[in-house]
């Protein structure tokens, strides 16, 4: 179980630079596939062996100066609700501002670790100036320069200390399916239809569900735990653009699931927020099933379904090997097909392929289509194996792994998919020195 760290503060204090610096260490290594950093405000990071999710709240605030204050208050309140640790970034050049004091006032009431990061401290003079931030009443502060990285190590040490202990889930090892999606796409209606009872109150007002709820479910001789991220627990006073909230709520549900059932509203199409949730699940290496709900409400022509599906696949390139199911929670059309598919995706995610079988299949393919030569040097791949990771990851051993480019890695991934069926599951391909 990892934690969530939120970076808060007023605009232009360097939140995003700090965010980028904190995820870069890891992203550079982990996300070898190009085109996955779609969502710049959410990342995975690790420090001293502890993994956590990082959310840059600043990326979600848009608007003019006067809108900013209200927005920032809302962002901070959300971060307080959802995050385990909060990093409050301030700027030594401007000193303490009214807006900083307002944020500090919200943070002083919180029973969670809050770390003040005084940014842009790149010399001794400025370190002396930082003393005035004691006035915020949040205790000690950390002086950092997010541009050159000084001081960020000490800050990260403290952040990791503040994360909740790694608690192993006590419950039996049931597969966990998370129902995620933007507000009002029909997540609760889908779960009600499955359970055959009004477990959740369903109304047409977006965001009426309260909290994420786990339900044990047994069907097709297969038992699993169903997690309703329950859309979005909106506070009455929070009327914000829901994108940030959806992401905040989905992060935790996605992290603690094996397969994500992404419910999309057919009457609205596959919107940017749906894509954000999709990429969150992909970044976390979860199995994914896309459920296009309310299909009964769409005017149909001969190719309506095919066209809709092609549009979705275009948006999720290059990871297009994902099941898309058209359903209606209201008429119960194809809801069991959705669960059956999720079960298949779970099996694909936990599939192990023996090294001998893998080499028997992949080496002849590689021999027929070797990696392109680089500056007259030939790359030879001699051996491959599946890594002992919870999700499908494969290492190919070569004499010159550094010359193998992304397009060839994608070729290998596609061949793995064709031969071993990883439908709905992200697959990682690494090249290693023989």
Residues at the binding site for GTP are: 9-16, 56-60, 119-122, 181-188, 228-232, 293-296
User: In whole angstroms, how far apart are CA 379 and each of 29, 374, 409, 416, 432?
Assistant: 22, 8, 13, 19, 12
Q: Which residue has the tokens 């791949």?
A: 381
Binding residues are 9-16, 56-60, 119-122, 181-188, 228-232, 293-296
Candidates 122, 161, 155; CA nearest to 140 is: 155
- The full 3-state SS of the chain, as one line of letters, equals CCEEEEEECCCCCCHHHHHHHHHHHHHHHHCCCCCCCCCCCEEEEEECCEEEEEEEHHHHCCCCHHHHHHHHHHHHHHHHHHCCEEEEEEECCCCCCHHHHHHHHHHHCCCCCEEEEEECCCCHHHHHHHHHHHHHCCCCEEECCCCCCCCHHHHHHHHHHHCCCCCCCCCCCCCEEEEEECCCCCHHHHHHHHHCCCCCCCCCCCCCCCCCEEEEEEECCEEEEEEECCCCCCCCCCCCCHHHHHHHHHHHHHHCCCEEEEEEECCCCCCHHHHHHHHHHHHCCCEEEEEEECHHHCCCCCCHHHHHHHHHHHHCCCCCCCCEEECECCCCECHHHHHHHHHHHHHHHCCCCCHHHHHHHHHHHHHHCCCCCECCECCCEEEEEECCCCCCEEEEEECCHHHCCHHHHHHHHHHHHHHHCCCCCCCEEEEEEC
């Amino acid at each position: 179980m990892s934690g969530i760290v939120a970076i808060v503060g007023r605009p232009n204090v360097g939140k995003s630079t700090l965010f980028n610096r904190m995820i870069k260490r890891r992203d550079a290594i982990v996300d070898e596939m190009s085109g996955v950093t779609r969502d710049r405000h959410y990342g995975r990071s690790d420090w001293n062996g502890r993994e956590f999710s990082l959310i840059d709240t600043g990326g979600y605030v848009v608007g003019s100066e006067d809108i900013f204050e209200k927005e920032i208050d809302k962002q901070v309140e959300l971060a307080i609700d959802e995050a385990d640790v909060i990093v409050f970034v301030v700027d030594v050049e401007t000193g303490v501002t009214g807006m900083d004091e307002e944020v500090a006032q919200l943070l002083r009431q919180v029973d969670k670790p809050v770390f003040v990061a005084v940014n842009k401290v790149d010399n001794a003079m400025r370190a002396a100036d930082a003393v005035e931030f004691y006035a915020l009443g949040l205790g000690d502060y950390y002086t950092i320069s997010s541009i050159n990285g000084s001081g960020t190590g000490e800050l990260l040490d403290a952040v990791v200390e503040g994360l909740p202990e790694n608690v192993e889930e006590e419950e039996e090892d049931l597969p966990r399916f998370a129902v995620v999606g933007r507000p009002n796409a029909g997540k609760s209606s889908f779960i009600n239809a499955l359970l055959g009872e009004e477990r959740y109150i369903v109304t047409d007002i977006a965001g009426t569900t309260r909290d994420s709820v786990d339900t044990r479910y047994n069907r097709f001789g297969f038992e699993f735990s169903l997690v309703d991220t329950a859309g979005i627990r909106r506070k009455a006073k929070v009327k914000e653009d829901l994108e940030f909230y959806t992401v905040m709520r989905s992060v935790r549900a996605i992290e603690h699931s094996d397969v994500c059932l992404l419910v999309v509203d057919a009457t609205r199409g596959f919107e940017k927020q749906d894509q954000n949730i999709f990429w969150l699940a992909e970044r976390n290496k979860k199995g994914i099933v896309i459920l296009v709900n309310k299909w009964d409400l769409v005017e149909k022509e001969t190719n309506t379904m095919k066209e809709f599906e092609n549009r979705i696949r275009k948006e999720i390139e290059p990871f297009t090997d994902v099941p898309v199911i058209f359903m209606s929670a209201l008429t119960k059309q194809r809801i069991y097909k959705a669960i059956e598919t999720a079960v298949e995706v779970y099996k694909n995610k936990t599939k192990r392929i023996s090294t001998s079988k893998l080499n028997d299949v992949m080496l002849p393919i590689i021999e027929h289509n070797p990696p392109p030569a680089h500056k007259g040097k030939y790359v030879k791949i001699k051996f491959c194996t599946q890594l002992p990771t919870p999700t499908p990851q494969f290492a190919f051993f070569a004499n010159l792994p550094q010359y193998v480019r992304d397009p060839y890695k994608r070729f290998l991934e596609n061949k793995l998919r064709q031969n071993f069926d990883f439908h709905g599951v992200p697959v990682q391909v690494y090249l290693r020195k023989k």
